[in-house]
Structure 1
């Protein structure tokens, strides 16, 4: 499931940068995005250490752009990368479930919860058998058993339209969930084969979360730690101080954490910089030259560089005027010069990136292709799109139709100068194409609320990529009744439905790419512009933290092993 992200990695990913921010930051060598067949090890930097060799105990404090207000990861109001990062230490059941990912995106059973997963197909029907870890139990004492899996299916399958799920994914193809030899063995049957298997039960829903009211509003301002299970537990959530404190969970049956405390603080970008330089937080993303320059030279810190698992650029709300007109959306796509934007965005970061043309797969995937639907770009190309659709320039030079000018604002989040410069750059490109474009400035903490309530016309934003497989995400973004813009058609929906039946990974992902290509060329709602690097300033001695690719979008590959080298800051 895709998670919204912001430019600094918080929730929705915006980011163009000032072209006049100075030269190349000193220190790191030039780094390139990897294409198909490239060495992804060059994109990982975590200071990997064996947990037994680390100092036992200590505290790690990390920043988030937003904390809440909704804490339900499976709902549209709680679907953000920040919320996912917050849950990872304390809610393995909700964020990991039956599966764990390696750095390259390969999924294997997460034996803390699901010891064995088998699939068998007979007469076109699929039966999946899951053996649950006998020790797996929620914090409130509820066993994680067949009732959990049945409730997960019922809440996420999309049958009850009052439940505000992000996507039904493969759950709509599940026919039944029942107990096998006992309640710790689950037998799942499907109406059609489901591939990949990790499209199911990557995240589990507690049996108590069983009504639309609880699902939709029961997590507003409430973490509900009793419905979680993970190596850490919640010690304190201070909504006023915007701080969450976690300590090891004595009820956790898996590997015990190295740390004695983990702390998350909600901070605007500028406050994050000050907090890191003052030693108050232990890691910070510096994915823009303005952030890098402000952090460079910080005492007791080092830089860790890798690939950011992000795809985004143009995020259009097609449900508000003038974005309801396909021609306006297409003209926006045409007005954008993607290579120029990437040049601005990555200037000074020693990062080279040739293409970002998909919201489903990274360029290093063997199945990646650039699906951006407009080949002729620039102001004149955009004006031609509008002219062909019946628009004309008014006396102010603004393109209009039937007396309605193309007028809207770009919503920008946070106080990072590069993010602001990005929005201003896009604004100028659109203005050159005859559009009246302003800027709606919001705080970083408003991101989740604004995106969930659709209080925007256009943002420079996108999604974190949480899987190396495109199958589930293509439904979330492009199925007509699932995507937030409600754009699509029966023909595309049929193709999307069929994707999950294709057993061959390469064939299935290529088919997903073609669906994305066709949807973009018809509807122009989400436009990929860049991926970008993950550049993190990290306190020296912090182990098992940093750019981790699919192992963890939150930069912590395993919360039980993150900790401090002996003699380092604790």
Structure 2
């Protein structure tokens, strides 16, 4: 599952690929020069976290971090709560819900998270797969409810897609599981599948407590409610202040894993301008510097250092094909064709000394050995876009706007937050589309509205996208299966290919098959397009350890702290 993110948001990898946003042009800064890596590059150049061992850290202290939005929905498995900010907020307090059986290393390699799952075995016989999981006997939720076979049964039941009233982001591999039950005791789980599923890390990478077992509770029960009683992690919620838009966390005395070194963690919801001021005033310990506007204002802040890396983001053209005029594939194709991707990136990354080639996959980064460029337009530009519309029966009206049957190609781009570079990026795209005969306005919203607007699909076009995983199997189903993707675009042929590739054990073959599905879907439906990946640039308080630009690594909140 991919988390949504906006152009100004902090990306994080979770079981679902999360929605996130893209958050300057002209002047330059003293930013260190960096560029994206391809499959032959060194990804170590894309990591910067000030790595320290536990014995190199001070005991105690507080870390305060900004997020674009806190809530209003705190269920990361639902469309309303599926955001990178939500994931970032929950990592310290809910390892059960947002990490589960699997942790990821910097390069995306999965390893068993023994805080919850001590063993995870798979056996395939006569085309049927049996998965046996041994649960950590100490694992339990904050309210004392054991994390046991019932937890795994409920997770599968809520996420397998059979109950259409449950607003899940994606059924993923759970769709192919036909049975989950207790084994020799309630701390052993036996799952069987209708077909083998790979990679194994695509299942039970986060649990749904057995108490969350109705569509109503799943869909609306987390609106304004964090439910810390159903969490388990190294920290616990001390206070959620919905008015002040803050969440404070303290060490969880019930946590059985490694104890954290920090005595408190605080998350604050801040717009871009407020985030800059808070960092300069030493109110927060990290700030996002991924736009020229923010970088220039943060540069030179006392007791700070820059941490640069690669952002795990793909997107930019997030189209709502359920709203006119984007219901017409010709309009969507014209948008893809009209956009000048290098020009958009020049505005977005101008002055940050970041170089990258145009990317062509929503599912994999260009440095992945499985990556291929699937962007569906080979001949781009204003004239080419107008030809797409003309061939589809559109013609310019008296205002010069292309229209068909008296209906003009008129829509708005939704922009979030008050960062000038983000707005300039949207305005650049707006002008490119206007030049191709489209009437395009801007719908301005606050950063805090991002999750609500995207979750309810209350937009026509946004410059936003999703976090990117190390394997394309989950992404291909979330983005391109007609029963799963939010635009409901696809067909039986592609759906079958997606179903079949989930059983390919060889990672290279499976990812190649997923790339081919993406290539065909993009060329036929034009629902999501990649304008950019982009850098990850943080300004961190000097001495903050084990946090920053970390690629795929699951954050270990037991060792986030202050170096001695």
8 Å contact from structure 2 (residues 278, 284) kept in 1 = yes
SS in 1 for 2:327: coil
1:437 lines up with 2:440 in the alignment: yes
SS of equivalent residue, structure 1 residue 551: coil
Output the CA distance in 1 between the equivalents of 2:431 and 2:73: 35
CA distance in 2, matches of 1:37, 1:523: 31
The corresponding residue for 2:41 is 38
User: In the alignment, which of 407, 410, 415 is matched to residue 412 of structure 1?
Assistant: 415
Q: How does 1:252-401 map to 2 (within 5 A)?
A: 252-401=255-404
1:165–1:304 CA distance, 2 compared to 1 (3 A): same
2: CA distance, partners of 1:410 / 1:46: 35
Segments ≥4 residues shifted beyond 6 Å: none
- Conserved 8 A contact 1:236-1:244: yes
Structure 1 segment 13-412 matched on structure 2, within 5 A? 13-15=20-22, 17=24, 19-20=25-26, 22-23=27-28, 25-26=29-30, 28-412=31-415
After superposition, give the CA deviation of every residue in 1:389-427 in whole Å (9 maximum; x if it has no partner).
Answer: 000001110000000000011000000010000000000
Distance 2:131 2:42 in 1: 34
Give the drift of 1:37. Answer: 2.7
Task: Give how far 1:370 is off.
Answer: 1.1
1:342 CA displacement: 2.0
Partners of 1:436 and 1:452 lie apart in 2 by 25
1:9 counterpart residue number: 9
C-alpha distance in structure 1 between counterparts of 2:534 and 2:130, whole Å: 40
Q: Which structure 1 segments of 5+ residues have no match?
A: none
Alpha-carbon distance in 2 for matches of 1:16, 1:344: 11
Q: 2:538 aligns with which of 512, 536, 541?
A: 536
- Partner SS for 1:396: coil
Of 450, 453, 456, the residue aligned with 2:456 is: 453
Asked if structure 2 preserves the Cα contact closer than 8 Å seen for 1:355 and 1:363, the reply is no
CA contact (8 A) 1:544 1:561 kept: yes
Partner-residue secondary structure (3-state), 1:135: coil
- For residues 351 and 505 of structure 2, what CA distance do their matches in structure 1 show? 43
Distance 1:536 1:187 in 2: 43
CA distance in 1: counterparts of 2:520 and 2:206, whole angstroms: 30
Q: CA deviation at 1:29?
A: 2.8
Tell me, yes or no, if structure 1 residue 484 matches structure 2 residue 482. Answer: no
Q: Work out the CA distance in 1 between the residues paired with 2:55 and 2:493.
A: 55
Asked whether the 8 Å contact 1:14–1:419 carries over to 2, the reply is no
Pairing partner for 2:509 from 498, 507, 515: 507
User: What is the CA-CA distance between 1:10 and the residue it aligns to?
Assistant: 4.4
- 1: CA distance, partners of 2:442 / 2:117: 48
**SS of equivalent to 1:528:** strand
Count of residue correspondences: 557
Is this contact kept in 2: 1:126–1:193, CA < 8 A?
A: yes
Task: After TM superposition, give the deviation of residue 13 of structure 1 in Å.
Answer: 4.2
* Deviations, residues 256-309 of structure 1 (Å, cap 9, x unaligned): 001000000001010000000000000011111111001001111100100000
Paired residues of 1:16 and 1:344 also in contact (CA < 8 A): no
Corresponding residue of 2:16: none
1:565 aligned to 2:563? yes
Shift of 1:472: 0.9
Cα offset for 1:346?
Answer: 1.8
Match of 2:524 in 1: 522
Q: TM-score, normalised by structure 2?
A: 0.98
Answer whether contact 1:245 1:262 (CA < 8 A) is retained: yes
Q: Is the 1:8–1:286 Cα contact (8 Å) retained in structure 2?
A: no
Q: CA shift at 1:338, angstroms?
A: 1.4
Residue of structure 1 in register with 2:15 after alignment: none
Cα contact 2:9–2:23 (8 A) shared by 1: no
**What TM-score results when the alignment is normalised by the length of structure 1?**
0.97
Whether the 8 Å contact between 1:318 and 1:324 is mirrored in structure 2 is: yes
What SS is found at the alignment partner of 2:279?
helix
Q: Secondary structure at the match of 1:189?
A: strand
Q: Is the 8 A contact 1:256 1:560 kept in 2?
A: yes
Q: 1:56 and 1:565 mapped to 2: Cα distance?
A: 9
2:352 aligned counterpart, secondary structure: coil
